[in-house]
Chain A
Amino acid sequence: MEKKKTVKSDAEKTEKINFEKALQQLEEIAEKLEDGDLGLDESINQFEKGMRLAKFCREKLDEAERKIEILQKGADGHVRKKEVDVDDGTGEIKNEDDLQGSLL
């Protein structure tokens, strides 16, 4: 990590921003390119940046992995996560046992 600090790739710079900012920047780039006021080099630069942002956005969108967990207090008093099975249509938690033990 330390040595990476000196040379930051664009991907790392992109990592610093969130999805919303990336999307906003992508939109600005699309608009700028559509205006057509940029020279060829700058257009290509901006386009490449835009494609990086689009990739970043797609990755961000797929980052989460569908998982529904319920926090339970074990006998030792520690809270742990337990994955539960949920019916997509109703949102109903399928296994009744999972509902045992609130945080109280």
Chain B
Amino acid sequence: MNDNSTLQRVYTVAELTRSIKRTLEGRADFNNLWVKGEIFNLTVHSSGHIYFSLRDNEAVISAVFFRHANRNLAFKLKEGMNILALGSITVYEKRGSYQINVAMVKQEGLGELQKRIEMLKQKLAAEGVFSPDRKRPIPFLPRRLGVATSPTGAAVQDIIKVALRRYPTIEIIIAPAVVQGADAPVSIARAIEELNRPEYRIDCIIAGRGGGSFEDLMPFNEEIVVRAFYNSRVPIISAVGHQIDHPLCDDAADLFAPTPSAAAELAVPVKEDLEGEVEYLAIRASNAVGSLLRELNTRVEGIRSRRIFRDPYEIVNRKEQLLGDMLNQMLSSLKDKVSSGTSRLLSIPDIRMIIKNLINTKKHSYIMALTTMEQLSPMAVLQRGYAIAMDEEGQVIRSVDDSGVDSLIRLLLSDGTLRCRVNSIERGGSDGKEKNS
């Protein structure tokens, strides 16, 4: 039994690992050390723990960033990001691996890839490629959907499945593309271009792929692909599976979704819902018109059932009666008028009487005057026996001096004239004897 094993100590794996662990973890300078490197293979576990590797050109070290430590991290870790990590080296016995247990992280600057993407982003942004203003609405009801992705991946299946479930009669045109590796950018760009050809009459395009590592998704950060999204004349949805970082194509697309399935949901409406909505609205319109017609009908019936329509003669009768009433009223009012007019007329003094009286009075006066005149007339005097003496010339002789003896005079009697010759003249009163020749 002279074998080396007796001279040298034989470790069990556990003993050795524990020894390594003690050595590494016990070294003061491996505790709370700073290390710088580029992040790759970044995984954010659902538990909140973050796993990644740090690398530079020559070496790689695993890193674990537990949830309690990364909770207050001010920025998101990104693939390709250069960081300074503060941590301690720990050994994970079960895997025989060592890693740095990160306590905190500082951003050291962007990794090469990240830097390239950032530069491209700035350049395209300056051109307006990501401008929100140019985003077009996704058609509400695409009849034909274009899909640019790998024909063999889960993405195309997810899109088809979701689209058909939602809209069983949709038409889908798939433009196969390589979505990973060096050929991917040109292939994706061509597929998008192809789907834009007018003869396909595509209403909406979904372009993308399922989730993958940062490197897997790199084609969707390439300028040619981003521009293909931007230049698509058909509204386009970016559907690149991702958890943390948006690929640049998301910003150039009209709309983006975190997975291909989600993109299909955004693009394709649920047919049954739309059919239901159309029916619902049609029924609402019908019901509204129906109730309007019923209401109008009720109103018409209400009016029709009034007595006037049930017994149309009623209106004639009533009018007749009304007419009769009115006539009566008119007549009686006319009568009233007439009688009041008459009484007014009667109340005026009888003009005929007045006139008659006037005439009588005048007549009387006339007769009186006439009588007076008759009485004053010389003829009347003559009739009483007087005579008027006149000379030859017809001059009344008032004095004996007006005549002479032998002069001819005329004596006017009431019934004629006596021609006489004056025999003598005697002075004295009128009782003197008249001398005849």
Q: Could you list which residues of chain A lie within 8 angstroms of chain B, going by C-beta atoms?
A: 18-20, 23, 26-27, 29-30, 33-34, 36, 40, 43-44, 46-47, 50-51, 54, 57-58, 60-72, 79, 81, 84, 86, 88-93, 98-99, 101-104
Closest Cβ of chain A: how far from B403's Cβ, in Å? 128
Interface: B160 (CB within 8 A): yes
Instruction: Report whether A67 and B171 are in contact in the complex, using a CB–CB cutoff of 8 Å.
Output: yes
Which of B139, B187, B194, B281 makes the CB contact (< 8 A) with A23? B281
Query: What residues on B are CB-neighbors of A20 within 8 Å?
Result: 140-141
Instruction: Report whether B158 and A91 are in contact in the complex, using a CB–CB cutoff of 8 Å.
Output: yes
Instruction: Report whether A90 and B157 are in contact in the complex, using a CB–CB cutoff of 8 Å.
Output: yes
Instruction: Report whether B275 and A71 are in contact in the complex, using a CB–CB cutoff of 8 Å.
Output: no
Which of A34, A43, A58, A64 makes the CB contact (< 8 A) with B278? A58
Which of A58, A72, A86 makes the CB contact (< 8 A) with B160? A86
Closest Cβ of chain A: how far from B301's Cβ, in Å? 15
Query: What residues on A are CB-neighbors of B291 within 8 Å?
Result: 36
Interface: B173 (CB within 8 A): yes
Q: Mark B122-159, 1 if CB is under 8 A from A, else 0.
A: 00000000000000000111011000000110001111
Which of A36, A91, A104 makes the CB contact (< 8 A) with B161? A91
Given contacts A26-B282, A29-B281, A102-B191, 15 further A-B contacts (CB under 8 A): A26-B278, A29-B285, A30-B281, A30-B288, A33-B285, A34-B284, A43-B292, A71-B195, A81-B200, A88-B164, A101-B176, A102-B151, A102-B178, A104-B178, A104-B186
Identify 20 residue pairs between A and B in the complex whose beta-carbon atoms are under 8 Å apart, listed by A's number. A18-B139, A26-B285, A29-B285, A30-B285, A33-B292, A36-B292, A47-B286, A50-B281, A51-B282, A54-B282, A61-B141, A61-B274, A65-B169, A66-B164, A68-B172, A70-B176, A71-B174, A72-B176, A102-B151, A104-B178
Interface: B96 (CB within 8 A): no
Interface: B289 (CB within 8 A): yes
Interface: B239 (CB within 8 A): no
Q: How many residues of B contact A (CB 8 A)?
A: 53
Please indicate which of the listed interface residues B271, B282, B291 has the most CB atoms of chain A within 10 Å of its own CB.
B282
Interface: B168 (CB within 8 A): yes
Q: How far is the CA of A81 from the CA of B175 in the complex (A)?
A: 9
Q: How far is the CA of A37 from the CA of B154 in the complex (A)?
A: 55
Which of B157, B167, B170 makes the CB contact (< 8 A) with A92? B157
With A99-B176, A103-B176 already in contact, the answer to whether A47 and B169 are too (CB < 8 A) is no
Instruction: Report whether B173 and A71 are in contact in the complex, using a CB–CB cutoff of 8 Å.
Output: yes
With A33-B289, A33-B292 already in contact, the answer to whether A64 and B178 are too (CB < 8 A) is no
Closest Cβ of chain B: how far from A57's Cβ, in Å? 4
Instruction: Report whether B275 and A68 are in contact in the complex, using a CB–CB cutoff of 8 Å.
Output: no
Query: What residues on A are CB-neighbors of B374 within 8 Å?
Result: none
Closest Cβ of chain A: how far from B407's Cβ, in Å? 130
Instruction: Report whether B140 and A91 are in contact in the complex, using a CB–CB cutoff of 8 Å.
Output: no
Query: What residues on A are CB-neighbors of B164 within 8 Å?
Result: 66, 86, 88, 91
Which of B151, B171, B174, B289 makes the CB contact (< 8 A) with A43? B289
Q: How far is the CA of A46 from the CA of B157 in the complex (A)?
A: 44
Query: What residues on B are CB-neighbors of A36 within 8 Å?
Result: 288, 291-292
With A102-B151, A104-B186 already in contact, the answer to whether A60 and B157 are too (CB < 8 A) is no
Q: How far is the CA of A41 from the CA of B274 in the complex (A)?
A: 29
10 nearest A-B residue pairs (beta carbon): A91-B161, A33-B288, A91-B160, A20-B140, A91-B157, A54-B282, A30-B284, A102-B176, A50-B285, A19-B141
Instruction: Report whether B282 and A19 are in contact in the complex, using a CB–CB cutoff of 8 Å.
Output: no
Closest to B195 in A: A71
Instruction: Report whether A18 and B175 are in contact in the complex, using a CB–CB cutoff of 8 Å.
Output: no
Closest Cβ of chain A: how far from B295's Cβ, in Å? 8
Closest to B261 in A: A91
Instruction: Report whether B282 and A62 are in contact in the complex, using a CB–CB cutoff of 8 Å.
Output: no
Closest to B161 in A: A91
Closest to A81 in B: B173
Instruction: Report whether A54 and B278 are in contact in the complex, using a CB–CB cutoff of 8 Å.
Output: yes
Closest to B191 in A: A103
Query: What residues on A are CB-neighbors of B278 within 8 Å?
Result: 23, 26, 54, 57-58, 61
Q: How far is the CA of A98 from the CA of B151 in the complex (A)?
A: 9
Q: How far is the CA of A34 from the CA of B287 in the complex (A)?
A: 8
Interface: B325 (CB within 8 A): no
